[in-house]
Amino acid sequence: MTQHQFTNQELADIFETIANLLEIKGEVIYKILAYRKAADSLRDYGGNVYTVWQEGKLTDIPGVGKAISEKIDELYTTGHLEFLDKLSSEVPPSLAELLEVPDLGPKKVALFWKELGITDLAGLEAAAQAGELQNLPGMGQKSEAKILAGIEALSRRTTRTPLWKAWPAADELLKKLLNIPGVEQAVAGGSLRRMKETVGDLDLLVAAADSAPVMEAFTNLPEVLQVIGSGKTKSSVEFNNGLRAQLWVHPPERFGTALQYATGSKDHNVRLRELSLKNGLSLSEHGFAREDESEILCATEEEVYEVLGIPWIPPEAREDRGEVQAALAGELPDFIELSDIQAELHTHSTWSDGKVSIKEMAIGARDRGYKILAVTDHSPSLGITQGVTIKDFKGQREEIDRAQEELGDSILILQGSEVEIKADGTLDYPDQVLAELDIVFASLHVSLRQPREQITKRLLNAIQNPHVDVIGHPTGRLIPDREGADLDIEAVFAAAVESGVAMEISAHPERLDLNDIHARQAIELGIPLSINTDAHTPGELDLMHFGIATARRGWVEAKNVINAWEPDKLLDWLRNRG
């Protein structure tokens, strides 16, 4: 009997599609949730579902009961699913893509389908542009404009793997590679090493004298679904979770040039090859070649840059944005390091949607070497977060005082707030309340699809408020599922220069907002930055390195970042903010 392999991700996508189509159809909620739960479980499952199926143990996977296991069995056995075929004859599968439009739910999708015969994204866009949606029940011109803005935002969405997903996957693989006998080094290359917010396939490099046992072990890892290609120096595989990876193995004495080459970027490497030719050398992943065909081998990247006569350039800065020219002129910045951070200024506790008490968050920050923690729970209008009311502030202050007394001078706890910039541009607290707080973040969370002029004006209102110290995650994006607001960033930065407000780089890997380009633009204008994790648990404080990487990509130095300053300087800055 022919068997059909599906990756864990492909299975998850099938059951996610079923859930979406059932919801559009109007099926009972418990059926929809069952398929969503199965999809989530299959997507997150660490092992190979195909192998579990072969062993007859599908129901051992959380979220996979008898009904779901029978459907997985049918997929592996026949290559298709009769239930999905029947459902697709009742509800066009292409309707599921409409649910990707921000803020567009299944009821509206069903309305468009049943009333106007819209079955795909192109049809929805054409109907909206023709003004056909605004006359439907519950719709209007504003709703129609919002859908068009959502479609436009969707067009900017990437299909690449987000950094937050690629990083831990690569980390686990590198640990396994380092355990293979004969492996001296194992490092990620490519856009992952450069810490771009999204990556393509994983590029992994190993230093080993004998490549054969490394390739054998790599291609036979239990999480490998299929081997795409295998050779002496390079192998490519696809994993159960849908990720793909390439592994290169080079001799230790050539590892420096191999790592530099595989890290990229392509344009950065072109600059280095041009520089090499000027020095009478030819640079490749294997080493430097002289005109007489003799070689210069480099075991480390530092040696590569030394041969070229320039200082080592951090991977995050290798994007051909002037870094080689700066290196030649001796003008590379003193890139910020994780160890420079002295305060965490954006965190949440059980006073809003955080998971632990203020004291527990403070202990977590102290144990990571921070000298200051700011508790910035949400304001109340962001309903899903159970924000802090004005009446709550006294009780929160009392809890901070108790925690401060118990922890002594090991860490200073500030009372702050992440204040919602509401849809009409006003802030969630009056000025007299804001004035009493130690630090105020103002953030956009709602109505992110407003027209550029309108949403920019909302942000400008917050920037111009003298009690706002930092603009939190300015565009409000979530990678890869929610595009940021369409801001006039030049106007935002001009206002920030005038007011002296700081702009945040959110270190949470689903945000990384400001991005690297805007971070560099900000510091060139003299706008102070603040790098924070937006932590809701002590463990999330460890996400800081993602924000540091984004800052390094933007050529940010410690002097540009308010929470890298000495505590007295930071506190003086906050006091002088008014």
CATH number at residue 182: 3.30.460.10
Lowest mean pLDDT, pick from 235-249, 262-276, 492-506, 549-563? 235-249
Based on the structure, what is the number of domains in the chain? 4
pLDDT for position 158: 64
Q: Residue 191 contacts by C-beta under 8 Å, 6 or more apart in sequence? A: 198, 199, 200, 264, 265
Lowest mean pLDDT, pick from 213-217, 236-240, 342-346, 471-475? 236-240
Split at pLDDT 50, 70, 90, the class of 386 is confident
pLDDT for position 551: 98
Of 344, 304, 286, 298, the residue nearest 531 (C-alpha): 344
Q: Which residue has the higher pLDDT, 278 or 241?
A: 278
For the segment 362-383, what is each residue's pLDDT rounded down to a tens digit? Answer: 999 999 999 999 999 999 988 7
Work out the average pLDDT over 38-55.
Answer: 86
Of 10, 510, 4, 17, the residue nearest 242 (C-alpha): 10
Q: For residues 509 and 493, state if they share a domain.
A: yes
State the angle between helix axes of 358-367 and 392-407 in degrees (0 to 180), rounded to the nearest 10: 40
Residue 100 in any domain: the answer is yes
Q: For residues 359 and 227, state if they share a domain.
A: no
pLDDT for position 2: 44
Most confidently predicted of 6-10, 149-153, 425-429: 425-429
Q: For residues 49 and 121, state if they share a domain.
A: yes
Work out the average pLDDT over 382-397.
Answer: 88
Q: For residues 214 and 357, state if they share a domain.
A: no
Q: For residues 543 and 394, state if they share a domain.
A: yes
Whichever domain contains 394, its CATH number is 3.20.20.140
Write down the residue that tokens 């404080």 correspond to. Answer: 541
3-state helix, strand, coil in the chain (%, to 5): 50, 15, 35
How many angstroms separate the CA atoms of 441 and 468, rounded? 6
pLDDT for position 157: 65
pLDDT for position 429: 95
State the angle between helix axes of 29-44 and 8-25 in degrees (0 to 180), rounded to the nearest 10: 160
Specify the DSSP class assigned to residue 578.
-
Domain limits for position 139:
8-154
Pairing of strands 202-208, 244-250: parallel
Work out the average pLDDT over 479-496.
Answer: 93
| CB-CB neighbours of 477 under 10 Å | 23
- Mark which of 250, 282, 317 sits at the end of a domain: 250
Split at pLDDT 50, 70, 90, the class of 224 is confident
- Mark which of 154, 186, 218 sits at the end of a domain: 154
Work out the average pLDDT over 478-503.
Answer: 94
Q: For residues 307 and 354, state if they share a domain.
A: no
Q: For residues 437 and 560, state if they share a domain.
A: yes
On average, the pLDDT of the chain sits at 93
pLDDT for position 18: 92
Work out the average pLDDT over 121-138.
Answer: 91
Q: In what helix (H) or strand (E) does residue 489 lie, and over which residues does it extend?
A: helix 489-499
pLDDT at 1 over 50: no
Q: Residue 248 contacts by C-beta under 8 Å, 6 or more apart in sequence? A: 189, 203, 204, 205, 206, 233, 234, 258, 262
Whichever domain contains 311, its CATH number is 3.30.210.10
Of 325, 421, 301, 404, the residue nearest 357 (C-alpha): 404
pLDDT for position 30: 84
Q: For residues 107 and 180, state if they share a domain.
A: no
| CB-CB neighbours of 280 under 10 Å | 9
Write down the residue that tokens 């190993």 correspond to. Answer: 206
Provide the whole-model pTM: 0.81
pLDDT for position 243: 87
Of 492, 382, 392, the residue nearest 444 (C-alpha): 382
How many angstroms separate the CA atoms of 352 and 399, rounded? 14
